[in-house]
Amino acid sequence: MTNPTDPAINGAESLVHTLLAAGVDTCFSNPGTSEMHFVAALDHIPGMRSVLTLQEGVATGAADGYYRMAGKTACTLLHLGPGLANGLSNLHNAKKAGSGVLNIIGEHAQSHIDLDAPLTSDIEGIARPVSHWVHSSKSVGDLGADAVQAVQAANTAPGQVAALILPSDTAWTEGGIVADPQPAPQRPDFDRSQLRAATTALSGPDSLLLLGGAALTEDNLLLAGRISAATGCALLSEWANARMDRGAGRVTVGRVPYPIDQALKVLAPYKRIVLVGARAPIGFFAYPGKPAVLTADGAEIIHLAHTGSDLAAALVALCDGAGASATPPAHVAKAAVPDKPKGGLTPDNIADLLGRAIPEGAVVVDESVTTGRSFFPATQGAPKHVWLNNCGGSIGYGLPVAIGAAIAAPKAKVMALTGDGSAMYTLQALWTMARENLDVTVVIFANRSYRILRGELTNVGVGNPGPRAIDMLSLDRPNLDWVQMARGMGVEGVAVTDCDGLEAALADGLAMSGPYLIEAVM
């Protein structure tokens, strides 16, 4: 342990120094009384970028997006159990995405907890369901070391959710000790015992290499493309991917569809499936009378590399096994610009307009739900870009993740594509985009309903919903006016109703260097 500063620093100061030394230099915050010493420490210790959010779901989602693009952990600063609770659903999403997030959660002074004050709650209990690592730091002398452990937990591949609970007396007491950073945990090897079986399995069009997680980087996709070319196997990715490199010149892979019947159909041909960073495909939900396991009956499934393991090594080994190290890759996307569509804003028209608009190096945050199901084919020939999905299924992930992505990748254009129902969950994110002048073009697909649920009613066997059921899935009465809401939070915007309007608005938004909102009325 070293202590670069005054030996009389308090716990909060030791925590900030320790985090900075460990490379954690961004904090998405909404503090309260119990976090004031941490705020004070940020005030006089340089180096930590503090980003204020107006609801904690924005903070936790931003940390998720930051990790996906920066490849390192940001922290959040949350006020007691209720502040953590507000951020919980986006931590659920981060956990499912394999994003590293370090939550620093203020707690009452330890002598105060038993008094059961109004804000007292079981913080560990609230944290545990969404966290891989939970710890209350009960001594000022231990806090620095605890923080290092928390960072290590968050940085464990593919990335984990860590909760460091900070009683206010631990923060304000003098005697803080700054702890030295530890080297980032290494990814463990993939399952070499499965390599021979996997190499044998990948042969011909009835075999599938299913990719997920870090297997979807440009370099790893290139390996997958070589394997496919040499073996004839098909390539797919999971329905939701934390981050996928895409665009012209890169090996392109489709996704297992969300709708249950389409997923079953897409996966039906495959008798042998090798998993690299992916899990065996299952239904997003159970539906009466339909299977939950989406792969064909009797399909052989080979678990070569779980998402936290060394996926690059697994793909190199598969490539070598197939003798494909120098084989030109299959499925390389050619540069392509869709024809300009005309008329109203259908999902297919929007897909074509996005394919025409996505700029080089863009980060596309996709929470487009039903509208976005046809975005992939139309955008694969766009300039190189990155695509982020919601891996946890809890809506309200898109706008916050866009904040974190924009802060992690300040030179990139970020495009946040989101359904209106989803965007309403965390619309407070727009204010933080304005405050930080983040380069995010937000497109709201305003179909004015939880459209996905109309299909799901049918899937669960409710064939003929009545007006009361439909009303519970509708966002009209009144219609939301996204342009007014955005202006109220300092973000300019425009509503468009046809292809010409959306193309012009995308051009305007992408030409700006700050946030812009487009309400695409469908």
Which residues between 257 and 296 bind a second copy (CB under 8 A)? 279, 282-286, 288, 292-293
Judged by CB under 8 A, the residue of 472, 504, 507, 511 near a second copy is 472
Binding of a second copy by 85 (CB under 8 A): yes
Binding of a second copy by 61 (CB under 8 A): no
Distance in Å, CB of 393 to a second copy, minimum? 4
Distance in Å, CB of 399 to a second copy, minimum? 13
Select 23 or 291, whichever has its Cβ closest to a second copy.
291
Binding of a second copy by 185 (CB under 8 A): no
Residues 295-314, interacting with a second copy (CB under 8 A): none
Binding of a second copy by 184 (CB under 8 A): no
Judged by CB under 8 A, the residue of 130, 195, 273, 274 near a second copy is 130
Pick the stretch among 89-97, 134-142, 318-326, 340-348 that binds a second copy (CB under 8 A). Answer: 89-97
Select 315 or 427, whichever has its Cβ closest to a second copy.
427
Distance in Å, CB of 484 to a second copy, minimum? 4
Judged by CB under 8 A, the residue of 1, 71, 122, 325 near a second copy is 122
Q: Which helix (H) or strand (E) holds 106?
A: strand 101-107
Distance in Å, CB of 24 to a second copy, minimum? 17
Binding of a second copy by 81 (CB under 8 A): yes
Q: Which residues does residue 136 pair with via DSSP β-bridges, in sequence order?
A: 165
- Which CB contacts under 8 angstroms, 24+ apart, belong to 193-201? 194/302, 194/303, 194/304, 195/304, 195/314, 195/317, 195/318, 195/321, 196/321, 197/302, 198/274, 198/302, 198/304, 198/318, 198/321, 199/318, 199/321, 199/322, 201/272, 201/273, 201/274, 201/300, 201/302
Residues 372-431, interacting with a second copy (CB under 8 A): 391-394, 396, 421, 424-425, 427-428, 431
Residue 451: count of CB within 10 angstroms of its CB: 21
Select 382 or 480, whichever has its Cβ closest to a second copy.
480
How far is 63 from 100, CA to CA, in rounded Å? 8
Residues 315-374, interacting with a second copy (CB under 8 A): none
How far is 464 from 14, CA to CA, in rounded Å? 61
Binding of a second copy by 54 (CB under 8 A): yes
How far is 256 from 237, CA to CA, in rounded Å? 6
Binding of a second copy by 89 (CB under 8 A): yes
Q: Are 15 and 148 in contact (CB under 8 A)?
A: no
Q: How many CA atoms lie within 13 A of 225 on its CB side?
A: 21
Nearest CA to 12 among 124, 110, 135, 140?
A: 140
How far is 444 from 415, CA to CA, in rounded Å? 11
Binding of a second copy by 5 (CB under 8 A): no
Binding of a second copy by 20 (CB under 8 A): no
How is residue 132 written in tokens?
């891989």
Binding of a second copy by 152 (CB under 8 A): no
Count of residues interacting with a second copy (CB under 8 A) = 101
Q: Are 133 and 103 in contact (CB under 8 A)?
A: no
Judged by CB under 8 A, the residue of 218, 348, 456, 500 near a second copy is 456
Residue 188: asked if its preceding bond is cis (omega within 30°), the reply is: no
Pick the stretch among 66-74, 78-86, 145-153, 357-365 that binds a second copy (CB under 8 A). Answer: 78-86
Nearest CA to 361 among 405, 403, 331, 398?
A: 405
How far is 267 from 475, CA to CA, in rounded Å? 34
How far is 427 from 31, CA to CA, in rounded Å? 19
- Three-state secondary-structure class, residue 188: coil
Pick the stretch among 16-24, 110-118, 189-197, 218-226 that binds a second copy (CB under 8 A). Answer: 110-118
Pick the stretch among 28-36, 148-156, 191-199, 360-368 that binds a second copy (CB under 8 A). Answer: 28-36
Binding of a second copy by 40 (CB under 8 A): yes
